[in-house]
Structure 1
């Protein structure tokens, strides 16, 4: 779930011109309902709505943005980090609208476009679950239309939400997140770390031992040898602009409190360090898609196991993907994700071979 200490990484890295008037493009009759804003209260803002969230420390506002209109399919996107932003999902714009899927960008409390209180007691998993529930209610999402998509840390949040509030869900998507942080750490230590060149691993671990996590050399080693193989499989200077922008907007207070300062696992006194719901997955009844990738920081085999543990699950494997497989294995990622949503909507079987 290493997304990501980018404020320290910044040192690395509809307009058309024409000579004649352009006729407005008319929407196809079949897609017209998707763009219908009748009765919406977010037309002036282009779908953006600030939602007040009640917390033990007062009321704060979180940022959401609706795209499209489909009464039967509404997907709320939970970003990773913690403390990253919705910007990591902007490539969804290239796929969801043409599939007729209504979806909601959402910056969790503490993230860039939402309020950013400084009280660290707010960076608590159970409180975030209650925040998602308040967002659901404000957006009028319900069991007849509500799909919850969570990636990385968002996957933790999605699983925890489903274990308490799955009666409100129509479908659940867990992307690039295993159900156990200790297992994630073990996979990082025993499988991914040994794949690094020995001299690189030795140097990374030397900085880890000294807890010198902000050292530019440490960060450069992590980005060049770890991120480009397991987080997003592209050269740093080719990373999609929304990825760089989202990393730039990271709230490090949220990130370090819950995830810890290391870029090579979850260490120190991070609040998520011992999180594990493997034994509770059988409680999840709602149709569930688990997305894993061959080069991910998360064990894809465990993502496949997760799909079998829930009562009605499907596994989507991205053979060329990593932690951000929505960017580096797009065709497989989006075709499988959209197929799952459509199958749930149409009442088709979810389990492979059923």
Structure 2
């Protein structure tokens, strides 16, 4: 992620009210929230995961647990997935991963790569599932980094996992990096030049940099104005500990431990029906998604031609139809 772009998002955020935490009024569907104690001895202090439940976990319908991206973002920008609750009565569980949003922050762990591991977040998910009593029957939705985490979780073949949705997920980080390089080459030459100079450590005009970063993000991350996305971006930048440690300062030159993330050799272990989604102008291009379609046995792939990295916001109505059909069908 890049600072000047997020500074511009912060200005947009100030024009809105508080962060969006639900896709609809709480009078339409019940929404409860709470905290889960998460035992992490190496944290050196008590850790809590903050969660929201849309709908009724006792309804008899399999709940959908949604994992946000980043790493270091928040649930706000994927809260619209609770449209599924209104349409189908499916309970949706959202949460902020530790280090982010309303969950415990650990800024003192900035740069401590052996603390911020994939396993840390898998264990957190296990903790949440058990706390809510849904560990024996649940569906999983993961967007971007949340999709990476969902892959790492699903290859363990957890007994309670019924269906899996991998939204703009990245099974191999270097494939994603190559994809972003290719997409950058489609931008106007002056934008490319500004980004190239900045990444090389050269001084560039701050306004030109902000415009160049905005051109990239507006084309390949989210193509519409979204207060939900802005809320998550602002919160990420208010404490970038997780993002900077695991990934690095930008999406073009991943220098954190996630640079070596590669679960393609383990994709065949995923044994539940899986829906793959991505956008036409997504940083997660088809070349990144293709190995999942090839190696996961029971797979469907939905492509959103008018979207970038956030089809759930950019083509919300169609996206929810696709997700709803997948969750309610026999396969």
Band of TM-score, shorter chain: 0.7 to 0.9
The one of 42, 63, 67 equivalent to 1:57 is 42
Say what the alpha-carbon RMSD is for the aligned residues. 2.4
Residues 4 and 247, structure 1, Cα contact 8 Å, conserved in 2: no
Tell me whether 1:241 sits opposite 2:232 in the alignment. no
Shift of 1:308: 3.3
Q: Which residue of 1 aligns with 2:219?
A: 229
Q: 1:155 to 1:4 in 2, by over 3 A?
A: farther
Q: Which residue of 2 aligns with 1:291?
A: 277
Cα distance in structure 2, aligned partners of 1:281 and 1:181: 14
**Could you list the runs of 5+ residues in structure 1 that have no partner in the other structure?**
14-25, 28-33, 36-45
Q: 1:261 to 1:212 in 2, by over 3 A?
A: farther
Could you say what secondary structure the match of 1:57 adopts?
helix
Cα distance in structure 1, aligned partners of 2:10 and 2:129: 38
Cα distance in structure 1, aligned partners of 2:314 and 2:290: 20
**Could you list the runs of 5+ residues in structure 2 that have no partner in the other structure?**
13-26
The one of 91, 97, 100 equivalent to 2:80 is 91
Tell me whether 1:138 sits opposite 2:126 in the alignment. no
Shift of 1:332: 2.4
Shift of 1:54: 1.1
Q: Which residue of 2 aligns with 1:19?
A: none
TM-score computed with the length of structure 1 as normaliser? 0.80
Residues 109 and 115, structure 1, Cα contact 8 Å, conserved in 2: yes
Residues 318 and 329, structure 1, Cα contact 8 Å, conserved in 2: yes
Cα distance in structure 1, aligned partners of 2:4 and 2:277: 24
TM-score computed with the length of structure 2 as normaliser? 0.85
Structure 1 residues 266-291: Cα deviation after superposition (integer angstroms, max 9, x where no partner): 423x1101101111101110111111
Cα distance in structure 2, aligned partners of 1:63 and 1:3: 27
Shift of 1:254: 0.9
Tell me whether 1:78 sits opposite 2:38 in the alignment. no
Tell me whether 1:105 sits opposite 2:91 in the alignment. no
Deviates further, 202-211 or 149-158: 202-211
Q: 1:11 to 1:244 in 2, by over 3 A?
A: closer
Cα distance in structure 1, aligned partners of 2:166 and 2:148: 8
Would you identify which runs of 4 or more consecutive aligned residues in structure 1 move more than 4 Å?
2-7, 211-216
Q: Which residue of 1 aligns with 2:151?
A: 159
Q: 1:249 to 1:213 in 2, by over 3 A?
A: farther
Q: Which residue of 1 aligns with 2:161?
A: 169
Shift of 1:300: 2.3
Q: 1:303 to 1:77 in 2, by over 3 A?
A: same
Structure 1 residues 80-136: Cα deviation after superposition (integer angstroms, max 9, x where no partner): 111111101232344432211100110000111011023244321111111111111
Residues 5 and 213, structure 2, Cα contact 8 Å, conserved in 1: no
Shift of 1:293: 1.2
Cα distance in structure 2, aligned partners of 1:62 and 1:77: 14
Query: Which residues in structure 2 correspond to 1:166-245 (within 5 Å)?
Result: 166-189=158-181, 191-210=182-201, 215=206, 217-223=208-214, 225-234=215-224, 239-245=225-231
